[in-house]
Chain A
Amino acid sequence: MAFDIRNPGLATTVQDQGRTGHYNVGIPQSGSLDQYSAELGNALVGNTAKEAVLECTYLGPVLSTDQDALIAVTGAPVEVKVNGEARPQWARLQLKAGDELSFGVIQGGTRYYIAVRGGIDVPSVLGSRSTYSLGAIGGFHGRKLEAGDQVPVGSPLDGGAVPDADTVPEEFRPAFSKEQTVRIVLGLYDHRLTDEGLDNLLNGEWKVTPVADRMGLRYSGPGVQWKEREQPFGAGSDPSNIVDAGYAVGSIQIPGGTQPIILHRDAVSGGGYAMVGTVISADMDLVARAAPGTSTRFVAISLDEALVARKELAELKRNARAAIGAGG
């Protein structure tokens, strides 16, 4: 079974939970940027959280299915259309062979997900089906989808029953707000900022610029100041430079002290810019939902508080799955 891609949309890629274990040679994590939305899409069609989905960016694809298919569209709010007729989002939809799926204009956020029962069945590369475009590995031939692609859909795994409920209850759908509070753990090279620089980071209003993609999001705002120093041997000449080091996923770098960049799942694995803190794992999906213009405040919390937030997100996912009637 396959999806026939009639129009690929802006940047539609195959993604799953991501690829770990190869960051030491520069192969990034990849995977659905908004893991929560992708996972609930999978849950609605009776997949495990591991199956690959299609991640759509702003402008979705037009595709048809060559066989009957069970799908769900989750993530950023968008009008879902089957043969031109509006259908609900965050809901399980039955497609008949030959049906055409298309989308209206995105109403907020950045990315939405098409989950299909059986999952997108491209070959697994280094343990994941996720697309890493720069390295041309994973996904559909290592790239975003193009018109004419026949994207294979797998057979449902044994024991993956379709859940009782056919929609995700409202209270378990994330907000796609133009205002966000993002929790970070300060550290790495935050001691290199002046007091005023740190104050700007934590008390300033930052706006997501249009320079935001799977690699990272750039923010405009008051800027920060780095302490002047004699640069160590091997670091660059700017006070925001360090001897090239590994970058934590979610870490915030501020090249030249102007625009902070949050690194996301396809980011470079290292480089020579000092990082001042890291978005907690529980808020990475939130950052993924931030559209350009989103007003953002960064709030510093402790590592222990970050671990509590991590547990809370895991519990929210469990409760959401239970509300749908999906397994484990």
Chain B
Amino acid sequence: MSSSPEPAVMEARYTWGGDEFLFVEVAESMSLAANFRVMSIAAKLSAMQLPGIVDVCPANASLLVRFDPDVLPPSTLEETVRAIEGDLAHHHDHSLETRIVEVPVWYEDPFTAEVAERFREGFHQEPGGTDIDYAAKVNNLKDAAEFIQRHHEQPWLVSMVGFVAGLPFLFQLVEREKQLEVPKYLSPRTDTPKLTVGHGGCFGCIYSVRGAGGYQMFGVAAAPIFDPAQSLADFKDFMVFFKPGDIVKFKPVTEAEYNTIQSEISAGTFHYRQVPVTFDLSRALANPAGYNQELMEALNGV
């Protein structure tokens, strides 16, 4: 059993974002249970295909729904979501049909190192060191190598997609006391390399496009996660790769392996190693490491 059971999920808080948005805060704190509740409400609401629903956006511990009040009165929407929330509270089969994806990462790469060097004094807590050394230190780890080990040895859940197009927020599937926590930069950078693997608070992320950002930078993912041209097979159906609920296993790669992947991308032959899995919340909470092992073994057959 986990030494720190997740707190029970409280009743959600409902509030309005003007006349077109309903905001449902499932919990103030991040937890796997809260995220799972958000995803369950979002999935049920989307499946209803209610006229007047414009966007259903699950986030880490809250849900944002955009609606057209000319078609769907706000009170009707709120009653509908409350009913879904009530049903789920009495429903104990918390499983999610999803997939596990292996994401190759070149940790301590030169691209993020170059950008980090431009944003030290006034931006970073320890301008004399690297982001990853700082992350190791604040997590009481021996060195960068141990931090990298902790970063990729256990999988992550995509708890939200957003900020910019296709950017996944990632929550590691480990007990709260094992969560890696790193403060964001003191002041946001105006530049972040495309595909930077970042971290802020308890969340990891992969920057889908180049741009501003405040997360610490540890490495660079080797393959695209947002492909507007939809040139690779994994993007045939949609230009955004990740969906909330996806499970990510980072795999460290060397410079040579990174370059091989770049050639495969240019040739149009690259595809992610991925396999469908059923994610069971109770098992994940009861024995994270054992259950993660089972999830990751599913990738062996691919």
Interface residues of A (CB under 8 A from B): 20-27, 125, 132, 134-137, 142, 184-185, 187-188, 232-237, 242-251, 268-272, 275, 277-281, 303, 306-307, 310, 314
Contact = CB atoms under 8 A, between A and B. Distances in A.
B183 A269 contact: no
Given A23-B66, A25-B166, A233-B176, A244 B20 contact: no
Interface centre among A27, A243, A269 (most CB of B within 10 A): A243
B18 A279 contact: yes
Nearest to B243: A25
Contact of B74 (A24, A270, A272, A303): A303
B59 interface: yes
A38 to B, nearest CB: 19
Interface string B257-290: 0000000000000000000000000000000000
B19 A135 contact: no
Contacts of B240: 22, 25-27
B184 A246 contact: no
Given A270-B59, A272-B201, A280-B18, A232 B28 contact: yes
Interface in B169-183: 169, 176, 183
A38 B167 CA distance: 31
B252 interface: no
26 contacts: A23-B162, A25-B162, A25-B240, A25-B243, A135-B164, A135-B209, A136-B209, A136-B228, A137-B165, A137-B239, A188-B23, A232-B29, A234-B201, A234-B203, A235-B30, A236-B200, A243-B27, A243-B29, A244-B60, A244-B203, A246-B23, A248-B64, A250-B17, A269-B57, A271-B163, A272-B201
B253 to A, nearest CB: 26
B300 to A, nearest CB: 29
Contact of A137 (B59, B228, B242): B228
Contacts of B139: none
A314 B19 CA distance: 14
Given A25-B166, A188-B15, A246-B59, A135 B226 contact: yes
A279 to B, nearest CB: 6
A188 B184 contact: no
A75 B163 CA distance: 30
B219 interface: no
A304 to B, nearest CB: 9
Interface in B6-32: 15-21, 23, 25, 27-31
A275 B59 CA distance: 15
Interface string B39-78: 0001000000000001111111111101001100010000
Given A137-B228, A246-B64, A236 B183 contact: yes
Interface of B: 15-21, 23, 25, 27-31, 42, 54-64, 66, 69-70, 74, 160-167, 169, 176, 183-184, 200-203, 208-209, 211, 226, 228, 239-240, 242-244
Contacts of A249: 20-21, 66
A236 B202 CA distance: 9
Contacts of B208: 26
A22, A188, A232, A280, most chain B CB atoms within 10 A? A188
Name the 3 nearest CB pairs between A and B, nearest first: A248-B17, A234-B30, A246-B64
Given A185-B16, A310-B69, 10 more contacts: A22-B55, A26-B161, A137-B228, A188-B23, A233-B31, A234-B201, A244-B60, A247-B64, A275-B17, A307-B19
Contact of A134 (B59, B69, B211): B211
A243 B62 contact: yes
A185 to B, nearest CB: 5
B59 A185 contact: no
Given A24-B55, A246-B162, A270-B57, A303 B17 contact: no
Nearest to B74: A303
* Max chain A C-beta neighbours (<10 A), residue from B59, B162, B208: B162
Contact of B16 (A142, A187, A237, A245): A187
B162 A248 contact: no
A270 B161 CA distance: 9
B174 to A, nearest CB: 13
A27 B18 contact: no
Contacts of B23: 187-188, 245-246, 248
A20 B54 contact: yes
Contact of A243 (B61, B66, B242): B61
Contact of A251 (B17, B62, B169, B202): B17
A125 to B, nearest CB: 8
Given A132-B165, A134-B209, A310-B69, A278 B62 contact: no
A24 B201 CA distance: 22
A142 to B, nearest CB: 7
Q: Which of A142, A235, A245, A303 has the most CB of B within 10 A?
A: A245
Given A25-B161, A188-B15, A243 B21 contact: no
Contact of A234 (B25, B29, B58, B74): B29
A182 to B, nearest CB: 11
A268 B164 contact: yes
B223 to A, nearest CB: 18
Contact of A268 (B29, B61, B162, B228): B162
A235 B202 CA distance: 8
Given A20-B54, A234-B61, A280 B169 contact: no
